[in-house]
Amino acid sequence: MSKIKPSKGAPHARILGVGGYRPTRVVPNEVILETIDSSDEWIRSRSGIASRHWANEEETVTAMSVEASGKAIANAGIAPEQIGAVVVSTVSHFKQTPAVATEIADKVGAGRPAAFDISAGCAGFGYGLTLARGMIVDGSAQYVLVIGVERLSDLTDLEDRATAFLFGDGAGAVVVGPAEEPAIGPTVWGSEGDKSETIKQTVAWTDYRDGTVDKFPAITQEGQAVFRWAVFEMAKVAQQALDAAGITADDLDVFIPHQANMRIIDSMVKTLKLPDHVTVARDVETTGNTSAASIPLAMERLLATGKAKSGDTALVIGFGAGLVYAATVVTLP
């Protein structure tokens, strides 16, 4: 018989607050066209993107995260020192160690929480949210700060016609805490490593260090392959998340997919047969693809503009490099 005492966590978990930060510099498509042979019409028709935000020297991964986190903590109505864990999803923090989560935890005044980074690409926010839910229910933390943050402008090849227009910078954060009723559903997540070559870093850091290549590493992708996978396979995952939560598309109020491409979003809406009453996040038009930050940024904007409201039922799904994915149903804060 085990001598270990059972955990004393909360019965359920929910998102209590959300915050976002977008860099001050707005970059329209015209700037992108200075380095690639394309047109504003082509970029808009293929991606739905009209502009994106790029960070300046002061808007570091840490600085943007701290700004977004401060808003999320205030929105949640808790004190920073109540945070028991900080989870940061990013692929654009360029120090292998220490985890940027530790620096962010200190700067937001969280005291001495558990703090770590995860690398799950555009599905990173969903991974972090799932880990946070587990910590709350397990009892290892009362409140968890989950951050998705990227400075993808540092990893963008401005001469790559397939990707130069896609990426933006920003940070989104949520506070997850205890709840008496289910407010974060089961996560449907996974990976398809046999497709890892479809979205990847162009070369290893060691190749650049050793002089094997003279061009700084960037993110590249096989656009058509990614599009087909996202449209056909991720709609299935989204439906599985609805089924796992015990609801149908008619029960949804909001749909917040990863902001990768407007055509992907519209195709998923059609495949899922979402009713007209469901509000769909289309933040990609003015924010671009911010990878791990895209879902919390889109969530924050929908709530701030009144297009979504507290208590709404939302389906969120992230998908990207790996290839990895994560989908769940949540109650909005």
Q: Which residues contact 4 (CB under 8 A, 6 or more apart)?
A: none
Q: What pLDDT, on the 0 to 100 scale, is given for residue 48?
A: 97
Q: CA dihedral defined by 230, 216, 155, 41, rounded to 10 degrees?
A: -70
From 29, 75, 261, 289, the catalytic residue = 289
From 29, 53, 258, 261, the catalytic residue = 258
Q: 12-181: which CATH topology?
A: Peroxisomal Thiolase; Chain A, domain 1 (3.40.47)
User: 């038009």: which residue's tokens?
Assistant: 285
Q: What pLDDT, on the 0 to 100 scale, is given for residue 2?
A: 83
How far apart, in whole angstroms, are the C-alpha atoms of residue 274 and residue 46?
22
β strands within 49-185, DSSP E: 51-54, 83-89, 114-118, 143-151, 169-179
Q: What pLDDT, on the 0 to 100 scale, is given for residue 8?
A: 83
Residues of the chain with CATH 3.40.47.10: 12-181, 185-332
In Å, how far from its chain's centre is CA 113? 22
Burial class, 305, CB count within 10 angstroms (exposed 0-12 / middle 13-18 / buried 19+): exposed
207 phi/psi in degrees, rounded to 5? -65, -40
- Is residue 53 annotated as a catalytic residue, yes or no? no
Give CATH for domain 185-332: 3.40.47.10
Q: What pLDDT, on the 0 to 100 scale, is given for residue 248?
A: 97
The pTM (predicted TM-score) of the whole model is 0.96
- Is residue 289 annotated as a catalytic residue, yes or no? yes
Q: What pLDDT, on the 0 to 100 scale, is given for residue 23?
A: 98
Q: What pLDDT, on the 0 to 100 scale, is given for residue 6?
A: 78
Q: Give pLDDT < 70 ranges for the chain.
A: none
Q: What pLDDT, on the 0 to 100 scale, is given for residue 5?
A: 82
Q: 145-169: per-residue pLDDT in tens? A: 999 999 999 999 999 999 999 999 9
- Is residue 122 annotated as a catalytic residue, yes or no? yes
